[in-house]
Chains A and B, each alone.
Chain A
């Protein structure tokens, strides 16, 4: 039995212990970076209604159209083959077990037979196959498709078994069809996952949508027929209230109009009285990714990109502005995973070297450049950090943050989606068409999605348009690696290539901070921001 089969057999056991799973995962290089770091205190008595502040939506909360801010809603009403728990573990959900074969190129999932949609109809294997195939159908323009692009076929073996045939081996495939790829929640056979789905949100999750007002409030009632009885919340009702700035939700929390704020600045959370509120901390591999176009504009020279990276005092920013609620990153998405090569030197502030690089690049006195993104608490602060830092080597950064629509819809317009290698897209002030921009990425249980969609030259969410065969090859090596040694080697290559070309600057990996009233217990979020609150004692 290969390592991968051994591991997945262990995972498939319903009664798998967390320690057991972590050991198994580590053996195959499956990344569970923060498994031991769980928040979620549980004090006081749970109320009947749980009201929490979440971020604003960037688009409709529809399975095929997933964008930032829709996660909270889809996570409430939906369920997936597997779930990523707050611990970072991959745990059974609609699938009770899964198994890899053929060196990780074939995967079979055994599904439950007691799952029901909110309309009362039973979930079948056909529904699961339809869900996957609907995302793979190009005409549906699914935002989640790229993550499962390696699926050659998805077939129903019998009423309880689904088989995935992959184009190439992928040890981390179960994550690709888990809640971390949150658009892949179960759809009823034939039902469209586009904007029309939002009216009813007929999912199989533990919450049933009662009312939904975009970017204001979504009200859910508890699904007493949810298949995993242990996960049925104690709360009867849940209200998700959306804020563009989470800081603005503090008065509502203080006056008891909210029970919890998800994603608050750590140092703001620290100002709230401990006697009334408790913090939940979830270290993640997510954060702000600042891309620089390698094909057009002022940043095409990799020495200029490196110079910008060298102006940033990461340690000071994390300690000061972020109040220590983040881990230092080294301009690569691999840094926080156990497979990272820790011998790769950490990039630190070095103005002498930065100035020398600008001189070598022929712009010793700097230049003017516009940094674009959308208005959000962390982005507001980070852009000022970049502006202030770049000023030290003569680069005059103009900050242009779009807040016109109360969210990030304009920034994430996807008018040039998917990114096409070598397309020379003009700067349009959108994420995928901006010379110098920032996107916020939630945490992921493995780096695969970042690598294949954002970092690789052929990625559908490649905002930097860098075409570096060295980096692409390292990403390919990562996704196909089946042994820990190969994973580590691939990670090292990715880290080195990331520093060499610097298409994206990643200063920190954020620690997600939630603040909750002591009156409410059992409030948890996973590293991606999915709400796991049950209102029960943890």
Chain B
């Protein structure tokens, strides 16, 4: 098969998959919700009705109304504006953390699945040991060890924590791929290992990696929100959703539920939307 024929075949597969996705209701719902939040993350300041830090002292713990759609918190800040603006923080951090985890995990998984032997065995045992510890415990230990928290530290911690999961998934896919003829052909062409891994094998395990990426992204949303909730994530008082929930949850007991409910719903909606997309991709890639 010539290069052009192969390219055409790839384009056909891609357009077929896109067509299937367009018909998938779960994907459409998921993509719409996620699209809204991505839009909010980019243009949040334009959609928000007030500055996220603006305090209206006349409207402390005010219930949802026409003036304040999602009500106000105990500092008189507009919950709607803070939820919209807060989307940028959680989405960007989660995306970058997942990207880091996917890059590290894919690299290690490719190497382990292709090289096999002792390298594979030792690496996988180490990754399994890391995976055995609950994500939040590792994250909290890391924050405690570093002694402070920030967006970058959160990204590094979550990226590191996701690495073993991605590596295991990619490794499993590579184990099957590495026995196929195109890999043997590349070896016969005396291509170097990096070329074989990233130019030959990686494109063929990409669907697996994409699905794994979306699954991890959903977990990352929860992980970022949980770390913020525990006070080990971002700046105190940040409009980040987890921080908002942490700052306001105790108000529920005084019947002020809105500052907690809306950021919680936002977290849930993003996580659900990503899961819907992930399920649809699984179907499309026939994994």
Contacts and interface: CB of A to CB of B under 8 A. Distances in A.
A383 B237 contact: yes
Range of interface residues on chain A? 20 to 34
A399 B235 contact: yes
B237 A387 contact: yes
A319 interface: yes
Given A247-B253, A254-B253, A403-B231, A380 B237 contact: yes
Interface stretch (A122-130, A222-230, A264-272, A278-286): A264-272
Interface string A248-270: 10110010000000000101100
B86 to A, nearest CB: 14
A320 B235 contact: no
Interface string B215-256: 000000000000000011001110000000001001101111
Interface in A259-314: 265, 267-268, 271-272, 313
A272 B254 contact: yes
Contacts of A99: none
A398 B148 CA distance: 14
B232 A404 contact: yes
Contacts of B253: 247, 250-251, 254
B182 to A, nearest CB: 52
A391 interface: yes
Contact of B58 (A272, A320, A388): A320
Contacts of B60: 267, 320-321, 323
B61 interface: yes
Nearest to A245: B250
B58 A400 contact: no
B54 interface: yes
Contacts of A346: none
A384 interface: yes
Given A267-B61, A381-B75, A384-B53, A399 B250 contact: no
A404 B235 contact: no
B185 to A, nearest CB: 55
A391 B52 CA distance: 11
A381 B247 CA distance: 9
Contacts of B236: 375, 380, 383, 399-401, 403
Contacts of B207: none
Range of interface residues on chain B? 20 to 34
A235 interface: no
Contacts of A375: 231, 236
Contacts of B54: 388
A380 B244 CA distance: 12
A316 B231 CA distance: 28
Given A248-B250, A380-B247, A403-B231, A317 B57 contact: yes
Contacts of A401: 231, 236
A197 interface: no
Contacts, number: 77
A388 B235 contact: no
B24 interface: no
B237 A404 contact: no
A441 interface: no
Nearest to A272: B254
A317 B247 CA distance: 18
B256 to A, nearest CB: 8
Contacts of B57: 313, 316-317, 319-321
B237 A247 contact: no
A321 B75 contact: yes
Contacts of A384: 53, 55, 75, 77, 237
Interface string B68-88: 000000111100000000000
B67 to A, nearest CB: 15
B14 interface: no
B9 interface: no
A271 B255 contact: yes
B237 A321 contact: no
Contacts of A501: none
B144 interface: yes
A139 to B, nearest CB: 31
A523 to B, nearest CB: 20
A113 to B, nearest CB: 49
B247 A388 contact: no
Contacts of A317: 57
Contacts of A532: none
Interface string A399-432: 1110110000000000000000000000000000
Contacts of A247: 250-251, 253-254
A479 B231 CA distance: 43
A160 B172 CA distance: 85
Nearest to A398: B235
Nearest to B55: A388
B250 A381 contact: no
A245 B251 CA distance: 11
Contact of A387 (B53, B56, B231, B255): B53
Contacts of B231: 375, 401, 403-404
Nearest to A406: B231
B113 to A, nearest CB: 40
Contacts of B250: 245, 247-248, 250
A391 B76 CA distance: 16
Interface string B32-63: 00000000000000000001011111101100
27 contacts: A247-B250, A247-B251, A248-B250, A250-B250, A250-B254, A267-B60, A271-B254, A271-B255, A271-B256, A316-B57, A320-B60, A321-B74, A380-B247, A381-B74, A381-B75, A384-B53, A384-B55, A388-B55, A388-B75, A388-B77, A391-B51, A399-B237, A401-B236, A403-B231, A403-B236, A404-B144, A404-B232
Interface of A: 245, 247-248, 250-251, 254, 265, 267-268, 271-272, 313, 316-317, 319-321, 323, 375, 380-381, 383-385, 387-388, 391, 398-401, 403-404
Interface of B: 51, 53-58, 60-61, 74-77, 143-144, 231-232, 235-237, 247, 250-251, 253-256
Given A320-B56, A321-B60, A381-B74, 14 more contacts: A267-B61, A267-B74, A271-B254, A320-B55, A320-B57, A321-B76, A375-B236, A388-B54, A398-B235, A399-B236, A400-B235, A400-B236, A404-B144, A404-B231
